[in-house]
Amino acid sequence: MKISETNKKVIERISKKGTEFYINMPQFFMQFSYPVTLELSEWIGAKVYQKGFANPLEFLCLMANKFYTSINASSENILESFILNEGKAIKEKTRKLVHIVKKWEINEENDNELAEAITDFCRKTYAVRIPMASFFLRMLLPQKFGTIDFRCIVALKSLGFETKELPPENTDKDTYLKQYNGADYLQYNIIITEIGKHYQIPTKFGGTRHMTPSEVDMALYEYNKEAGKLTAQITITLKTPTDADKIQRIMDIVEEIVKGTRTGPSWVKRAGESFLRNMKKYAANNDIDAMFEYCTRLAKGGKGKGIAKWLQNRGMPSIESEYEKIKSIYQNRQP
């Protein structure tokens, strides 16, 4: 697989320092909030790659934070559903994929064979689609693979890259994999790998090295997250915000609200997590109308007034205080 000439030109443009088009990917990577759970996943991923397979517990530890976009996010028993549907079968499924990855790494398997193995893994594994498979690969070999995420796709498109969009997560799996499969993911991975080759970051030993695909995906995630806040520094090339762009901006607000609820008593925490879970479900389905309708019901109804009061008394944002911003984004007006 090769990178297109258009994408090569975009990389040259955004990586050229001293120009108005320069995007400081290392800086965005440094701004990325690196959770402890990600460090744990990387440690487990290295062990899995070394021994050649993941047992059910290891796979769940690796993938738990991705499950909400892969099956019904309103389910209270997502991990239980996976265990009941997969059980010990995941051990052999991961063994097959890791084996192909190892052969691909030493050029004994080509991109097409790896792409088919990724697609097959998604097709045969409960609740796993391309984003989750990419996260698994990224944990195995972060120097070779990055995670695909709707934020990263929006970021790439906003910069002028040619790349396919992910289908809505509520798409039937067979249809989903016809629209976006392992080959499409590897094409995305080639783009972020090539981007990384045009940037240098410091090493622990005082030198510099190229960014890895996993570091580029984190930089793109952060770039996309910060784009709306740093309009003086970042220019999005899309003339009209897409629904995906609006969704991610609304989710930014949601995450700030929920951050506050997590500091509260149990009843506030539970309400915040329920709010986040439902909004993630709508976002995963690209249903911005449902997102706005849900926010309107919460902001205008009386059910959450106690939570709003608790947050506002402590100077924290609530759905009521942020509603006009959400409405403005939904209606495509700048607040």
Q: How does pLDDT run across 91-113, given as a tens digit for each residue? A: 999 999 999 999 999 999 999 99
Q: What is the pLDDT of residue 144?
A: 97
DSSP H or E run through 152: helix 150-159
Token pair for residue 30?
């440094």
Average pLDDT over residues 46-60: 93
Find where tokens 């990855």 sit. 101
DSSP 71: S
Q: Which of 114, 136, 237, 123 minimizes the C-alpha distance to 184?
A: 114
Task: Using only the alpha carbons of the chain, give its radius of gyration.
Answer: 21
Q: Is 203 exposed, middle or buried, given 0-12, 13-18 or 19+ CB atoms closer than 10 A? A: exposed
Q: Which of 264, 330, 244 minimizes the C-alpha distance to 292?
A: 330
> At a CB cut-off of 8 Å and minimum separation 6, what does 238 contact?
157, 158, 245
65 — pLDDT class (breaks 50, 70, 90): low
Looking at the DSSP bridge assignments, the partners of residue 210 are: 200
Q: Which of 327, 295, 254, 285 minimizes the C-alpha distance to 150?
A: 285
Amino acid letter, 125: T
Asked if residues 239 and 260 have their Cβ atoms less than 8 Å apart, the reply is: no
CA-based angle 220:224:229, to the nearest 5?
A: 135
Mean residue pLDDT of the chain comes to: 86
Asked if residues 15 and 23 have their Cβ atoms less than 8 Å apart, the reply is: yes
What is the SS3 assignment for 210?
strand
pLDDT over 70 at 23, yes or no: yes
- Could you report the per-residue pLDDT of 293-334, keeping only the tens digit for each? 999 999 988 777 889 999 999 999 999 999 999 999 888 744
> At a CB cut-off of 8 Å and minimum separation 6, what does 96 contact?
117, 121
Asked if residues 67 and 79 have their Cβ atoms less than 8 Å apart, the reply is: yes
Token pair for residue 4?
């297109």
Asked if residues 294 and 225 have their Cβ atoms less than 8 Å apart, the reply is: no
The residue among 182 and 280 whose pLDDT is bigger is 182
Q: What is the pLDDT of residue 229?
A: 46
Asked if residues 63 and 37 have their Cβ atoms less than 8 Å apart, the reply is: no
Terminal alpha carbon distance of the chain: 43
Q: What is the pLDDT of residue 234?
A: 37
Average pLDDT over residues 156-184: 92
The residue among 303 and 218 whose pLDDT is bigger is 218
Is the Cα dihedral 232, 279, 67, 113 positive or negative? negative
pLDDT over 90 at 216, yes or no: yes
Q: What is the pLDDT of residue 78?
A: 66
